[in-house]
Amino acid sequence: MKTVSSSRYAGFTIIEIVVTILITAILGVGMVSYIADSADSLNNASNRSKMASAGRTAIDRMALELHNALPRSIRVTPLGTVGDPLNASGDQCIEFIPVRAATNYVNPSFSGGGSSSFNVIEFSPSLEGAFEGRLFAAIFPTNNTAILYDGDNFSAPAPNNYSEWPNFPTRRPIQEITSITDTAPTDSTLSVINLVKSHRFRRRSPTKRFFVVEQPVSFCVVDDKLYRYSNYGFFATQVQQEEETGTCDITDTDPDRCLPNYAAFGATSPTDSDPPRTKTLVTDSIDNSGRVAFNIGTQSLTRNSLVKIELNFSSEGDSLILNHEVLARSVP
């Protein structure tokens, strides 16, 4: 009689099957967790890279414009001023006067009743002929930054008569230009600066430096966004409030002279000769609560300064703080 070997019927026991399933499940959970963590890390890295790229682009843009600011013209708003919509916790503005061109002056007036025109060394490239928007002449900005912005200096009978804006006092380092013309054939190396009225500049520049500047520009952190405002005018007191539905809460201020708000007025102009007043979104995802976005060191006529920029970007649970320092040329 033949016997059948029991090895032909050998297999897995229940315990072996259960152990195998448990080990497989553990490995599967580990692999899924590893893949999920890798995906989250990749997503976080991508998100942080986007924030860093957007933040760096915004800061580089501000730095580029600040490098071209008129000496002594940079100023910042304080934090936490009660009643200012643009100045709540973390919100802040930095303002400066951008330089269009620079050269050396020849014979502007520094005494008496002033003059309505004077000669400068010709610009390269030339600014002679028609130019877009308003331009202003500036010589030797002083330690008092506010007088560079004193274009809202009005007299009787109307203390806020904006039909005459800007109205700089006759003894200031800045005045509006009506045109820039050529003196040729008298002297082809010179240009004539024609002002809106006779003007006496405040002080002589040790190096006879002359600047042609444009209307002020402001960068403002508002809630979680960074905006750029331009072509809104000169004010001795720094403007930090947007126009809202035709009104502006700044005392004795026409709505056209607040920071522009395209939601309220659009990019309209007070007069046909002005370029459009604009509000431009630079970047978003900012959380600057409890932080100072803009801080400028002590400025003087004999020493340059540093503008410190600190922006905290936050998105999808990640945050990234970017710090940058810009050299502010305070020596005219």
d(CA 211, CA 213): 6
Domain residue spans of the chain: 49-96+215-328, 99-213
Q: Which two tokens stand for residue 285?
A: 């995802």
Sorted by sequence, the CB contacts under 8 Å of residue 171 that are 6+ apart come out as: 114, 200, 201, 202
User: Which pLDDT value is given to residue 35?
Assistant: 72
158, 180, 181, 232, 243 from 162: Cα distances, Å? 9, 25, 28, 12, 16
Q: What is the DSSP string of 95-123?
A: EE-BEEEEEEBSS---STT-EEEEEEEPP
How many whole angstroms separate alpha carbon 273 and alpha carbon 264?
Answer: 21
Beta bridge partners of 221: 92, 226
Tell me if 115 sits within 8 A of 199, measured CB to CB: yes
- Identify the pLDDT of residue 3: 54
CB 140 within 8 A of CB 204: yes
Per-residue pLDDT of the chain (332 residues; tens, 9 = 90+): 555 555 555 666 788 777 778 888 787 777 777 676 666 666 666 777 888 888 899 999 999 999 999 988 999 987 655 445 554 567 889 999 999 999 999 999 998 889 999 999 988 888 877 677 789 999 998 767 888 898 877 654 555 555 667 888 888 899 999 999 887 667 778 899 999 999 999 889 988 999 999 999 999 998 889 999 998 888 888 887 787 765 665 554 555 568 888 765 444 444 445 677 889 999 998 988 878 899 988 777 677 888 999 999 988 778 889 999 998 887 66
Residue 137, strand partner residues = 175, 212
pLDDT of residue 82: 44
